[in-house]
Structure 1
Amino acid sequence: MQIATDRRVVSDIDPFSESFRADPYSHYAQLRALGPIVWLEKYGIWVVQHHAQVKAVLTDWKRFSNAGGGGLTNYFKEPNWRKPSIILEVDPPEHDRTRKVLMRLFTPGALQKMRNEFTHVAEALVSAAIAQGQVDGVADLVQPFPMKVFPDAVGMPPLDRDMMLVYGGMVFGAFGPRTPWYDQLLSRADEVSAWIDAHCERSALTEDGLGAAIYAAADGGEITHDEAKLLVRSFLSAGVDTTIDSIGLCLRALAEHPEQWAHLRDDPSLARAAFEEATRYDSSSQSLFRTTTDAFEFEGQMLGKHEKVLVLIGSAGRDPLVWDEPERFDIRRRITQQVGYGAGVHGCVAQMMARLEGEVFFRALATQVDRLDVTGPSTLRLHPGLRGLVTLPLALTGKN
């Protein structure tokens, strides 16, 4: 039911419910039909769902701040369970200083080195999956790839890295309301935080990885050594789960659209385009929050100071005002207004690396695999946080 009160367009849709998370796109269409900005009465928050307003909020850091936190909890009003990220939970000018350090990591030479190393890992994983024949696309194929290449690139030595997934669940699970699932995760907060903290120390990293380059910036006085450790921590927390889920959702889309898989199989150079289209079509980062810095009018509604605004990136990717046939997955679509990685000064700092991982993975898949068949129902995580798959049963047949 929707009603209008005090000029507000109000909806009782719950964006954190299991039914919403199981099928967000039908709910997005309902919200887009209500107008450019809607008040969600269950949580007392605003929501924007059209591409134009999503981009407007993401690119206006002066009015829509990151410092209030990327989730439902309002850090202007409530304390954070961990130290705030000095890249993800700050605004300019402080944000510019730390972002500059991270952006400098992705030189053409560094990206080429990553490409070579990523390709070796991806080709080996795909080859092993073909030999196995029947696989779980998440556990056997997708998850091992970012869990190997991203920490390797940062400089984390080989070890049991599963704790990173627990930490990622704690970080991204905070995007929604407190649930028993999240409380159970937080019961391990001290243990997990200590593990992450120890493995982000300079002494725990190799001397030739991205982490070492961050510490080198501290040696040069651009940031402090304490800040260097926080940046390494933020880098690890933001760069693993999102890529696992993005690659998994793209893999499912290709398997469920055999005509699109045929395009990629016949032309592996479409790998980057396939990953880009999947990010529009079914993004792992469906939503995030911004927090107003003051009271002001936006799209005919009066927003108060320090109010939460839910930004539906996933809805923007299906906005019919921007995309022709937005419900159609088409890897030959020309993507010119991507918001799957955010936008503005807070756009994903490692998006070049994420895109490279996706491109390399799907090129390796298309080069080696002839048939990609779904052998059973896939399952989604339904708790708050990133959108991602738990299982994806597949059969892979290699090329002759």
Structure 2
Amino acid sequence: MTYHTDGRVCSDLDPFSEEFRADPYRHYAQLRALGPIVWLERHDIWVVHHYAQVKEVLTDWKRFSNAGGGGLTNYFKEPNWRKPSIILEVDPPEHERTRRVLMRLFTPGALQKMRTVFLQEASTLMDGVLENREIEAISQLVQPFPMKVFPDAVGMPPLDRDMMLIYGGMVFGAFGPRTAWYDKLLERADEVSAWVDAKCERSALTDDGLGAAIYAAADRGEVTHAEAKLLVRSFLSAGVDTTIDSIGLCLRALAEHPEQWKILQEDPSLARAAFEEATRYDSSSQSLFRTTTEAFEFEGQKLDRHQKVLVLIGSAGRDPAVWEEPDRFDIRRRITHQIGYGTGIHGCVAQMMARLEGEVFFRTLAEKFGRLEMTQDATLRLTPGLRGLLTLPMAIGPR
């Protein structure tokens, strides 16, 4: 730690480095010890990492804008490779109009319909997987479930999984600095963008899915038809990778804590609580950005206009000022102030659907699986973007 002459508390930690991403929680504790807001010298950005400041930044959209982009690229100063999302990367009043359309999709009736379908799909998937005794859980168990139930709910035809994950890498990889890995990925940007564009056309969707409901809102004049297509795209970009990674991290946490797995087996109704605790304990969405709209003082530091502020959601989930024994994974923990899905007007609009997917997955798992053990260490994805697992070798067996 060093101090600038202007009084800024500084750190040379690099939150996008492989070392940091491999074990972020150790580094989060170091940052929390430095104070409520720190200047990261390597990227010339501010970072907040305590629960209180994370929540304040995320709820104060007037000073901490989402229109500057959810990643390191500053949309106020430079363009991105794709058009900004009209739900994720705008502020009110534009944001209110588009978010209203999406929020109406998740009625109790719609969620109950999804639950019925999700339970059927989870049961079929897990019965098939249980024919084996050793699996690579990410590719054989974790990925197939969201990749099936999500596009079906939206009304999309079966998706090309490889293309879908490439698109997700492009979207979430943009959260960090440009790297050779990301530049290589962007070589396919035109191809992937055209693929995504075609999948979001009204003609490509069924008549009874969430995508059709978005286009119906356009028919009523709530958004334009061009905006409806962009909202379907936002669903596609935000609704798959996050859930895959969240389920994978929760599965690893249960395998690493066999006493918690036993508790879940004894009471599968705790599936929702297990997924909620995993989202606090080891979230796929560890961080995002906001951009200042003006110069002002925040927690004793002077912030300038159009400066990037890194918001460490993962650190807030381990803040000892809020959580008792925050480094302990406990599926019976009562979580009444979850921040793993963000908060404020830009909190995850589809979080009810993601929570339902997680609940159904782990309830079905607890009802059908007996043995659940890691046979080798899991492999983390260390490239910028979401936190998730590349591999999770497991030994499994039925109850």
How would you bin the TM-score normalised by the shorter chain? over 0.9
**Alignment partner of 1:267 is 2:260:** no
The structural deviation recorded for 1:263 is 0.3
Alignment correspondent of 1:249: 249
2:61 partner SS = coil
Give the Cα–Cα distance (whole angstroms) in 2 for the partners of residues 128 and 14 of structure 1. 42
Alignment correspondent of 1:71: 71
The structural deviation recorded for 1:377 is 1.0
Residues paired across the two proteins, number: 399
Alignment correspondent of 2:105: 105
2:321 partner SS = coil
1:333 partner SS = coil
The TM-score normalised by the length of structure 1 is: 0.99
1:73 partner SS = coil
Q: Single out whichever of 88-97 and 3-12 deviates more from structure 2.
A: 3-12
Give the Cα–Cα distance (whole angstroms) in 2 for the partners of residues 31 and 295 of structure 1. 23
The letter of the residue matching 2:107 is: T
The structural deviation recorded for 1:161 is 3.5
Alignment correspondent of 2:33: 33
CA contact (8 A) 2:147 2:159 kept: no
The structural deviation recorded for 1:5 is 3.7
1:132 partner SS = coil
Alignment correspondent of 2:301: 301
The letter of the residue matching 2:52 is: A
Q: Percent identity of the aligned residues?
A: 80
The structural deviation recorded for 1:81 is 1.0
Correspondence list, 1:332-347, <5 A: 332-347=332-347
**Alignment partner of 1:144 is 2:144:** yes
* Per-residue CA distance 1:182-204 (angstroms, 9 max, x = gap): 00111000000000001100000
* Per-residue CA distance 1:165-212 (angstroms, 9 max, x = gap): 111100000000000110011100000000000110000000100000
Alignment correspondent of 1:236: 236
2:223 partner SS = coil
The structural deviation recorded for 1:22 is 0.2
The TM-score normalised by the length of structure 2 is: 0.99
The letter of the residue matching 1:312 is: L
Correspondence list, 1:1-400, <5 A: 1-399=1-399
The letter of the residue matching 1:54 is: V
The letter of the residue matching 1:262 is: K
Q: Single out whichever of 107-116 and 4-13 deviates more from structure 2.
A: 4-13
1:302 partner SS = strand
* Per-residue CA distance 1:201-248 (angstroms, 9 max, x = gap): 000000100000000000000000000000000011000000000000
The letter of the residue matching 2:153 is: A
Alignment gaps of 5+ in structure 1: none
Q: RMSD in angstroms over aligned alpha carbons?
A: 0.7
The structural deviation recorded for 1:164 is 1.4
Give the Cα–Cα distance (whole angstroms) in 2 for the partners of residues 374 and 3 of structure 1. 45
Give the Cα–Cα distance (whole angstroms) in 1 for the partners of residues 13 and 282 of structure 2. 20
Deviating above 2 A after TM superposition, structure 1's stretches of 4 or more consecutive aligned residues are 1-5, 158-162
Alignment gaps of 5+ in structure 2: none
CA contact (8 A) 2:3 2:10 kept: yes
CA contact (8 A) 2:151 2:159 kept: no
